[in-house]
Amino acid sequence: MTDLANKPVQQLTEKEATKELARLAAEIGGHDRLYYQDDAPTITDAAYDLLRRRNNDIEARFPELIRHDSPSRKVGAKPVERFEKVRHALPMLSLDNAFEDSDVEDFVARIRRFLGSKEGDEIALVAEPKIDGLAVSLRYEDGVFVLGATRGDGAEGENVTANIRTIADIPQRLHTRKPPPVFEVRGEVYMSHADFAAMNRRQEEKGEKIFANPRNAAAGSLRQLDANMTAARPLRFFAYALGEVSEAPAKTHWETLQALKKWGLPVNPLAKPCGSVADMLQFYRDIQHQRAGLGYDIDGIVYKVDRYDLQARLGFVSRSPRWAIAHKFAAEQAESVVERIAVYVGRTGVLTPVAHIKPVTVGGVVVQNVSLHNEEEVARKDVREGDTVVVQRAGDVIPQLVRVVLERRPKGTHAYKIPEICPVCGSTAVRAINPKTGEPEVARRCTNTLSCPAQAVERLYHFASRDAFDIEGLGEKTAQEFFDLGWLREPADIFRLTEHADELKAREGWGDQSTAKLLNAIEVRRKTTPLDRFILALGIPQVGETTARLLARNFHNADAFLRSMYSATAEEELDAIEGIGDVMARAIKVFFDETHNRDAIVRLLKQITVVDVAAPRAVNSPVAGKVVVFTGTLERMTRAEAKARAESLGAKVAGSVSKKTDLVVAGPGAGSKLTDAQKLGVTVISEDDWLKKIGEA
Ligand code: D41
C-alpha cells in the first residue's frame, strides 16, 4: 500500500489508479472531518495539499475513474471573500407568467398568429414542472465542467463553480465520447422536502439558522463562501435548457432533454410533449394533483415551443422569450385570527413559538397551527394574540404565516414575549452564544438537558449512543418504548432497567435472549465508561467529542471534574484549558448551574463508576504521575512554561513541598521550598538535570 502511495502518477496502471483514488478519497475525507468538524487536524496543510494534488493528478490522467465521493468535488479550497462576477455568454432570459387558463390559450394563439400557422396545424410544445429553486448556468468545455454561475440579473451572475462541483447530481464530465467544444446547460438547483427537513433539524440542533423553505435553503447553501459548507448541504439539480453551445445535440427541446439525460444530466421525469392547449391544461391539472407528493417544491408549469427553428423565429420581447411561458399555481393563502401563541419544546430543548389560529382552509387543507420558528421571527413579523394574519401553505406542505394585517389589529394587544423558562419542566431557557459568531443563537433552549421530559428520549438515546455510553440495543426506538412505559425518564434509570427484566421479557418483540443481551450491555458499561464518554453523554450544549476528551484529560476523574464545575471558579478553570474559549466555558457553566442537571448527575453517579482518564502522553514519560515543585529562578524557560511542559508529560505540579512531593527543581535563589525539601528528604535537582531527565537537554 505504501509503495503504491508513492508510485508516480504517470506509472500507475488503471487498476492501481482505482485503488489510489479510493484510498485518497477515504484519507482526504477523514482529514476534512478532523479539520472541519473536530477542529483537530492531524496533518500539516502542506501534506494535505499533496494528497489533494495527487488525487487531482490521477483524475486528470484517468477522468473515467473519478469517484462520486471524490475529494475534487468537495473542493477543500479556502473560503472566498466574495463571489466573482461572470457575464453570461448568452443572457439567461426570464419567463412571462400565465395565471388563468385563458392566459395559456392567449399564449398559444399569439404564437400561431406570429408564425402564421394555419388552422389545424399542430404546434408541438413541451410542458414541464417549474422547479422552485434557483437558476444556474453550467459550462462544459470539451466535456469537462469548467464554470458554474448563478442567474443574477440574467446578464451577469456570480461564479459559484467550486460550490456547484459539490453537487452530486451534476457530472464533472459529460457522458459522451464526442462532447461539443462548448456546451452550456441551464437548470434549477433545488433541495428536496426530506433533505430540507433533515437539514433544518440539524441546523436546529446546532443552534444555527433555520430556513423558511427549501428554496431559501438551496439559495443559502449555493451561496456559501466556503464550498465545504455547500458540500455538506444536500443540493440537487434538474437541467431544462441550453445556453451557449458550439453545437446543439438536437433540433428540438424534447430531444435535447433526452440527450442531456444520456450525457448524465438529470432531467425532470415528468416533462411531457403536448400538441394542444387541451393537452397543456390537462398536464397542468395532473401535476397540480401530484404536487404535494413530489418531494420537492414546484410553483407552476413551464410550456415551451418544441422546435428550435420556431423558437428562433419567435425570438423574445424585452427579456422573455415569446416561445415559453410559466403557468403559475395560485398562491394558496387565507386569512385567520391568532387565538393564542403557545410554546413547544422540541426534542433538543429548543422552544418554538406556534400560533394557534382559528381553523381555516388553505388549498384544501385545514390549518390551525402555524410555526413562528423563533422569537426573532415573531418580533420581525410582530405577531400578537388577536391579530388577523395571512397564512399560506409553502410548496403545499408547511403552513406559513405570511404577514399580519395591521389595519385589523384590535386595541390593547401586546408584543409577544417568549417565556424564559421551559414550559414543560420549569427550568431556565437561554439563548446560547454561538462561539463562531459571538452572537446569540436564534433558538432559546431549556437548560435541563438531562431530565426535561420534552428532551428525555433524545437525551437518553444520545446518552446510550456509540460515542457516549455505547450501550448496544438502546437505540431511539427502544428509548422511546421504555420512556412510554415510564421505565426511563433520565440516564440513571438506564441502570435500573434490571428491575423491569421480567416485564421486558414478556413484551412483544423482546425475549429472554434480547433482554439478557441488553441488560448485559448495560451492566458492562456501569463500570467501564471512561470520563470522556461520560462527559459527552451528558449532552452539554456545544460539548462534542473533542471538547469532552479535552475536559477528561484535564480533570482525569469525575470527582475532580464535578468539583471544579460546581465551584465558584468553574468558568476561569475552564477558560484556562487550552482549546476551550470563554463562550464554551460559559455554556458548560450554565449547564452545571441548572439544579435539575446536578440532581440527575447525583442520581446517575449512585448507579455507575466512571473510569479515570490519564493525561495524554503520560505513558513512557519518566515523570508521569510524579509530584514536582519548581522553585527559584528558572533560566531556560518561564515558570508557566515549565509547569505546562511537566503537566503534558503527566507530572502534577504543586505549589509547595510536602511529604507527597517526589521532586524539587531548584534554580538560583531558591528559598524556603528548598529547605523544606531537604528537611523532608525529597530529591532536589537543577534545571539542567530536569531537562536531561525529560529528554530536552
Ligand atoms: O423549472 C424551472 N424553474 C424552469 C425555469 C424551467 N423548467 N424552464 C425554464 N426555462 C427558461 C427559458 C425558457 C427562458 C430557457 C426556466 C427559466 N427559463 C427560468 N428560470 C429562472 C428564470 C428563468
DSSP letter for 296, please.
S
Active-site residue, 130 included: yes
- Confirm or reject: Cβ of 302 under 6 Å from ligand 1: yes
The answer to whether residue 428 is domain-embedded is no
Lowest mean pLDDT among 32-36, 420-424, 439-443, 604-608: 32-36
DSSP conformation class of 211 = P
Tell me whether residue 50 is in a domain: yes
Question: Are the C-beta atoms of 231 and 166 separated by less than 8 Å?
Answer: yes
Q: Residue 146 Cα, ligand 1 centroid: separation in angstroms?
A: 22
Q: How many domains does the chain have?
A: 5
463 belongs to a structural domain = yes
CATH number at residue 548: 1.10.150.20
- Of all protein residues, the one whose alpha carbon is nearest to atom 4 of ligand 1 is 130
Nearest-atom number in ligand 1 for the CA of 94 is: 23
Our mutation pick for probing the ligand 1 site, out of 184, 185, 186, 327, counting the most ligand atoms within 8 A of Cβ, is 186
Statement to judge: residues 587 and 646 lie in one domain: no
Q: Residue 5: CB partners within 8 Å, gap ≥ 6?
A: 20, 23
Q: Cα torsion at 265, 266, 268, 272 (round to 10°)?
A: 40
User: Could you tell which of 126, 150, 240 is best to mutate to test the pocket of ligand 1, judged by most ligand atoms within 8 Å of the CB?
Assistant: 240
| Per-residue pLDDT at 363 exceeds 70 | no
375 lines ligand 1 (CB under 6 A): no
Residue 401: pLDDT band (50, 70, 90) is very high
Verify that 260 and 313 share a domain, yes or no: yes
pLDDT at 32: 75
139, 212: one domain: yes
Residues 493 and 367 in one domain: no
Residue 117 within any structural domain of the chain? yes
CATH code of residue 171: 3.30.470.30
Give the list of residues 6+ apart from residue 443 with CB closer than 8 angstroms, or none: 204, 207, 210, 350, 351, 374, 431
Residue 108 in any domain: the answer is: yes
Are residues 135 and 236 part of one domain? yes
From the list 542, 361, 508, 334, the residue with the least C-alpha distance to 437 is 542
Q: Is a pLDDT exceeding 60 seen at residue 654? A: yes
Angle at 510 between CA 509 and CA 514, to 5 degrees: 130
Does the beta carbon of 93 lie inside 6 Å of ligand 1?
A: yes
pLDDT greater than 50 at residue 455: yes
Which residue's C-alpha comes closest to atom 15 of ligand 1?
241
Q: What is the pLDDT of residue 396?
A: 47
671 and 585 together in one domain: no
Domain boundary among 382, 408, 434: 408
Residue 436: which pLDDT band, with cuts at 50, 70 and 90?
Answer: confident
State if residue 135 touches ligand 1 by the CB under 6 angstroms criterion.
Answer: yes
Residues 229 and 313 reside in one and the same domain: yes
Whether 40 shows a pLDDT value over 70: the answer reads: no
pLDDT > 60? residue 167:
yes
Q: Which of 292-296, 510-514, 564-568 is predicted least confidently?
A: 292-296
pLDDT of residue 39: 56
What integer pLDDT is reported at residue 38 of this predicted model? 57
Is 296 inside a domain boundary? yes
Does any domain span residue 417? no
Residue 165 burial class via C-beta count within 10 angstroms: exposed 0-12, middle 13-18, buried 19 and up: buried
Q: Whose CA is nearest to atom 20 of ligand 1?
A: 135
Position 618 pLDDT exceeds 70:
no
Domain boundary pick from 376, 393, 408: 408
Q: Which one of 130, 272, 304, 652 is the catalytic residue? A: 130
Average pLDDT, the chain: 88
The closest of 266, 240, 237, 234 to 254, measured between CA atoms, is: 240
User: Are 16 and 45 found together in one domain?
Assistant: yes
Q: Are residues 113 and 215 both part of a single domain?
A: yes
- 183 and 315 housed in the same domain: yes
- Banded model confidence at residue 2, pLDDT cuts 50, 70, 90: low
With 70 as the cut, is the pLDDT of residue 98 above it?
yes
Measured on CA atoms in the order 420, 426, 428, 430, is the torsion positive or negative? negative
Query: 128 CB under 6 A from ligand 1?
Result: yes
Q: What is the pLDDT of residue 669?
A: 85
- Quick check: is 427 in a domain? no
| CATH number, residue 355 | 2.40.50.140
- In angstroms, the CA 256 to CA 252 distance is 6
601 and 503 part of one domain: no
Taking the complete model, does pTM exceed 0.75, yes or no?
Answer: no
Q: Give the domain extent around 556.
A: 530-611
C-alpha dihedral (338, 343, 345, 351), degrees to nearest 10: 110
Q: Lowest mean pLDDT: which of 30-39, 205-214, 334-343?
A: 30-39
* Separation between Cα atoms, residue 626 and residue 682, nearest integer Å: 12
String of DSSP letters for 398-441: EEEEEEE-GGGPPTT-------SB-TTT--BEE-PBPTTT-SBP
Nearest to 162 by CA among 272, 74, 249: 74
- Which atom of ligand 1 is closest in space to residue 132's alpha carbon? 3
Considering the chain, what percentage of its residues have pLDDT values greater than 90?
55
CB 157 within 8 A of CB 151: yes
Same domain, 297 and 357: no
Q: At 636, which CATH number?
A: 3.40.50.10190
Q: Which of 274, 295, 328 is the last residue of a domain?
A: 328
130 lines ligand 1 (CB under 6 A): yes
Nearest C-alpha to atom 21 of ligand 1 is from which residue? 135
